[in-house]
């Protein structure tokens, strides 16, 4: 659908732009192992996150986001939102904020330019996920 939307000028409204907090740097490689051991934290018990965001390639993306965020002195979320906002066809992400700082991170992304090298570094480790929920 994304290529079709881009080709026909239909704006994209990405849902869960931080991948349920994953791109905000809120998950660790050992969260999946803790869930198996009975941890009841949301990161460890979130079935969607467990089945969808705990691949090595996913953590490689978070590592790339971390490097850019640390180098530029901003949050992971600001980098992730900025990358998404600069993708062709994206009108705006659907942002969910439960704390003022989360909204500040999203708003900061509007005026946060990424260099071509940063964009390439953020894209390179990504491996597409299968589409879920549609047969």
Establish if 6 belongs to a structural domain. Answer: no
pLDDT band at 16 (very low <50, low <70, confident <90, very high): confident
Residue 29's pLDDT is 72
Alpha carbon separation from 125 to 42, 96, 130 (Å, rounded): 26, 25, 16
Structure-token pair, residue 36: 């198996």
> How much of the chain, in percent, has pLDDT values that exceed 90?
51
Total of domains in the chain: 1
> For residues 65 and 49, which has the higher predicted lDDT (pLDDT)?
65
Please enumerate in sequence order all residues whose Cβ is within 8 A of that of 3, keeping only pairs 6 or more positions apart, or say none: none
User: Which residue in the block uniquely carries the two structure tokens 């989360």?
Assistant: 102
Q: Is the pLDDT of residue 54 over 90?
A: no
Please indicate, yes or no, if residue 114 is contained in any of the structural domains.
Answer: yes
What pLDDT is stored for residue 21 in this prediction?
84
Q: Write out the residue range of the structural domain in which residue 73 sits.
A: 12-123
Give the pTM.
Answer: 0.80
Residue 14 has pLDDT above 60, yes or no: yes
Q: Residue for token digits 């994209």?
A: 12
Instruction: Quick: pLDDT tens for 62-96.
Output: 999 999 999 999 999 999 999 999 999 999 888 98
Separation of alpha carbons 111 and 109, rounded Å: 5
**Residue 88 confidence (pLDDT):** 92
Instruction: Establish if 134 belongs to a structural domain.
Output: no
Q: At what angle do helices 76-85 and 100-108 cross, to 10 degrees?
A: 40
Q: Does the residue 107 lie in any domain? A: yes
């Amino acid at each position: 659908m994304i290529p079709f939307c881009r080709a026909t000028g239909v704006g994209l409204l990405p849902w869960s732009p931080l991948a349920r907090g994953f791109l905000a740097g809120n998950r660790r490689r050992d969260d999946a192992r803790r869930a198996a051991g009975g941890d009841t934290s949301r990161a460890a018990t979130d079935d969607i996150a467990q089945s969808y965001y705990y691949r090595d390639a996913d953590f490689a993306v978070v590592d790339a986001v971390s490097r850019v965020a640390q180098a530029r002195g901003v949050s992971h979320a600001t980098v992730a939102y900025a990358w998404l906002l600069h993708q062709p066809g994206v009108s705006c992400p659907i942002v969910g904020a439960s704390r003022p700082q989360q909204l500040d991170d999203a708003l900061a992304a509007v005026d946060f330019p990424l260099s071509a090298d940063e964009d390439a570094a953020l894209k390179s480790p990504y491996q597409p996920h299968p589409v879920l929920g549609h047969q």
